[in-house]
Amino acid sequence: MARLQLHDLQLARGGQTVLEHLDGRFQDGAVTALIGANGAGKSTLIAAIMGMLAPVAGRVECRVPRERCAWLPQQLALDLTFPMSVEELIMTGTWPSHGALKGYCAAHYRKGRDIMARLGISHLAHRQLGELSGGQRQRALLGRTLMQEAELLLLDEPFANVDGETVEMLMDVLRDMARAGATILVVLHDMEQLARLADDVLLLAGGHGRWVSPEALLDHHTGQLPRAPRLPIDFQEASHAGTA
Amino acid sequence: MLALLDAWLFAPFEYGFMRRAVVAGLALSLAAPPLGVFLMLRGMSLIGDAMAHAILPGVALGFLFAGFSLPVMSLGGILSGLLVAVLAGSVSQMTGHREDSAMASFFLISLAAGVMLVSLGGSSVDLTHVLFGSILAVDTTALVLIAGIASLIVTVLAGIFRALVVECLDPLFLRGQGVRGGVVHGVFLGLVVLNLTAGFQTLGTLMAVGLMMLPATTARFWSQRLEGLIAIAIGIALVASTGGLLLSYHLSLPSGPAIILLAGVAYVLSALFGRQHSLAARWRRTARPLDAAPPP
């Protein structure tokens, strides 16, 4: 039974419907890619799943406890002038178990150090967040979700402005998390990244969604994945499928 | 030499009013600067100023009803401060205006209302007292009230510290964890109001905010870590309040402005010669070599 399901969902922004009749279930222990043109409703859907946007109709059924849901938004709400080190940021991921008051013990600091080692940011432990590059920051934020032991992970374009080596590292960690049972949603634009990471794809276009396998996005002529999805054709089909 | 030191530093405290004044100053110096550090980091440095004006009508009403009674005036100040904070918050939520513009409107209304009320009911001497305070007139009741409020602030701040830090850095994360960021923010603003109310007796409504903000903005030139900022800000406030009192005693200066001006001197010196972001730091332009460990 999938822990995250959509039931005839209708979402709107500023009185304008963005998505409607959205159904489906996200596989547990798998990475689902969310793709679509700008304005197709990817971020809107993620906000609704996180409970930050109330649906106009239908519902999101999420059986993952709220504190085990992690969200890395596209435009970071992080205040980078705030004095905080990488290690301190990662330690805030203990919130589900520690809340506002409980003290950290040695085991948690050890776990924090293990996470930083795995993400290759041990040498940045005491660096201030404002001094990090985009890729280093993304690693640190993923470190926080590891500390949080997130079971549902929503990532909005996590690989934007991130160098190739970091992308490999982040993909590895995401695949490991999925293997361990986490449900992961990733907004992606790069078809190559999609082919290597995603087990399932939800296409959004024209206000509708359509579930496809990554293979279905293969180019009909070459049998290879195109660099970019053939937008008009794919999305026309998607919207027909949605209304059918 | 020793005699001179004794005459300057210790002899003044043989007077009861100086002892009470210095204890009140020390209590405020422990509670106010941490609040100032968070206000500064949240980009709300001027909100403290606005809130200081917001407590004025309540203080004035208390004065009208009960004369110069500190508990009544403080209660009035707390109520009107909280009322303005809640009103500004809800107006900005309902209208979509930014909170600072709502706050600015309400604090101007409060200031005018407060000055009007004081003038209706008292002489200009009373007005001066409310606006600028008089640390030398702190009696035992006032001292207990100030110390009590300061202790409450430090305790509550310790309780909400982690939540406040996370809320400053990444409000979405806290919301994802099911914590209403608005609640943390509200409690924090409540502490600011409490602190200003405790401060108005000694420093006056207008100067009370100085002991909160100046040490915090000064500390920014010396540390990049939150703990460092708070520790340095408290240190500056302790020195400024004690030093300001001594100066006012020896040179017959008004005590509130002497304390705040001393903190102001620390600010200007730090802006010139501080370790971070100061003018001198800009001139230095040195950098650690690549393989060097970052500073602790």
Q: How far apart are CA B250 and CA B288, in angstroms?
A: 46
Range of the domain at B66: 2-276
Per-residue model confidence (pLDDT) at position A134: 85
Q: Is B224 on the interface with A (CB under 8 A)?
A: yes
pLDDT of B63-102, one tens digit each? 888 877 778 888 999 999 999 888 887 877 777 677 778 8
- The model's confidence at residue A238, banded by pLDDT at 50, 70 and 90, is very low
Out of A77, A126, A144, name the one closest to residue B172 (CB): A77
Q: Which helix (H) or strand (E) element contains residue A59?
A: strand A57-62
Residues A96 and A53 reside in one and the same domain: no
Residues A122 and A94 reside in one and the same domain: yes
Residues A104 and A219 reside in one and the same domain: no
pLDDT at A230 over 60: no
- Determine, yes or no, domain membership for B283: no
Contact B178 A67 (CB under 8 A): yes
Question: What 3-state DSSP class applies to A132?
Answer: coil
Out of A69, A73, A84, name the one closest to residue B169 (CB): A84
| H-assigned helices in chain A | 42-49, 86-91, 95-98, 106-118, 134-147, 164-179, 191-197, 231-243
- Determine, yes or no, domain membership for A70: no
- Determine, yes or no, domain membership for B14: yes
Per-residue model confidence (pLDDT) at position A244: 34
Answer yes or no: is the ipTM higher than 0.85: no
Q: What angle do CA A150, A155, A157 make, to 5 degrees?
A: 160
- Determine, yes or no, domain membership for B261: yes
Domain count, chain B: 1
Two tokens at A134?
Answer: 């985009």
Residues A129 and A158 reside in one and the same domain: no
Domain count, chain A: 2
Q: How far apart are CA A197 and CA A185, in angstroms?
A: 11
Report yes or no: B70 and B243 within 8 Å, Cβ to Cβ.
no
Q: What is the CATH number of the domain that holds A240?
A: 3.40.50.300
Per-residue model confidence (pLDDT) at position A237: 47
- Determine, yes or no, domain membership for B34: yes
Per-residue model confidence (pLDDT) at position A241: 43
pLDDT at A236 over 60: no
Question: CA of B41, closest CA in chain A: separation in Å?
Answer: 6
Q: Is A211 on the interface with B (CB under 8 A)?
A: no
Q: What is the CATH number of the domain that holds B65?
A: 1.10.3470.10
- Determine, yes or no, domain membership for A5: yes
- Determine, yes or no, domain membership for B282: no
Q: What's B7's DSSP letter?
A: I
Q: In what order do the strands lie in the sheet with A4-13?
A: A16-26, A4-13, A57-62
- Given phi > 0 = left and psi -120 to 50 = alpha, else beta, which region is A176? alpha
Report yes or no: A153 and A73 within 8 Å, Cβ to Cβ.
no
Out of B161, B168, B294, name the one closest to residue A126 (CB): B294
Q: What angle do CA A67, A1, A9 make, to 5 degrees?
A: 70
Contact A96 B175 (CB under 8 A): no
- Determine, yes or no, domain membership for B224: yes
Contact B177 A95 (CB under 8 A): yes
- How do strand A200-205 and strand A31-35 relate by DSSP bridges? parallel
Contact B173 A144 (CB under 8 A): yes
Q: Is B187 on the interface with A (CB under 8 A)?
A: no
Those residues of chain B that have pLDDT short of 70 are: 96, 122-127, 130, 285-288, 291-296
Residues A40 and A82 reside in one and the same domain: no
Q: Which residues of A touch B162 (CB under 8 A)?
A: 92, 100-101
- Determine, yes or no, domain membership for A72: no
Residues A31 and A134 reside in one and the same domain: no
In sequence order, what are the beta bridge partners of A10?
Answer: A57
- Determine, yes or no, domain membership for B179: yes
Dihedral pair phi/psi, residue B290, rounded to 5°: -55, -40
Residues A212 and A157 reside in one and the same domain: yes
Residues A51 and A17 reside in one and the same domain: yes
Residues A242 and A156 reside in one and the same domain: yes
- Determine, yes or no, domain membership for B295: no
Per-residue model confidence (pLDDT) at position A71: 86
Surface of A (88-127) touching B: CB under 8 A: 89, 92, 95-96, 100-101, 126-127
Write A93-97 long-range contacts (CB < 8 A, 24+): A93/A143, A93/A144, A93/A145, A93/A146, A93/A147, A93/A148, A94/A147, A94/A148, A95/A67, A95/A148, A95/B166, A95/B173, A95/B174, A95/B177, A96/A65, A96/A67, A96/A68, A96/A148, A96/A149, A96/B177
Q: In what order do the strands lie in the sheet with A200-205?
A: A69-72, A152-156, A183-187, A31-35, A200-205, A208-212
- Determine, yes or no, domain membership for A175: no
Report yes or no: B294 and A126 within 8 Å, Cβ to Cβ.
yes
Dihedral pair phi/psi, residue B141, rounded to 5°: -55, -50
Give the Å distances, CA to CA, from A115 to A71, A109, B72, B296: 18, 10, 55, 21
Residues A60 and A95 reside in one and the same domain: no
Residue A239 or B10, more confident: B10
Q: How far apart are CA B185 and CA A165, in angstroms?
A: 39
Give the Å distances, CA to CA, from A57 to A4, A22, A24, B41: 17, 10, 15, 40
Range of the domain at A97: 77-150
pLDDT at A34 over 50: yes
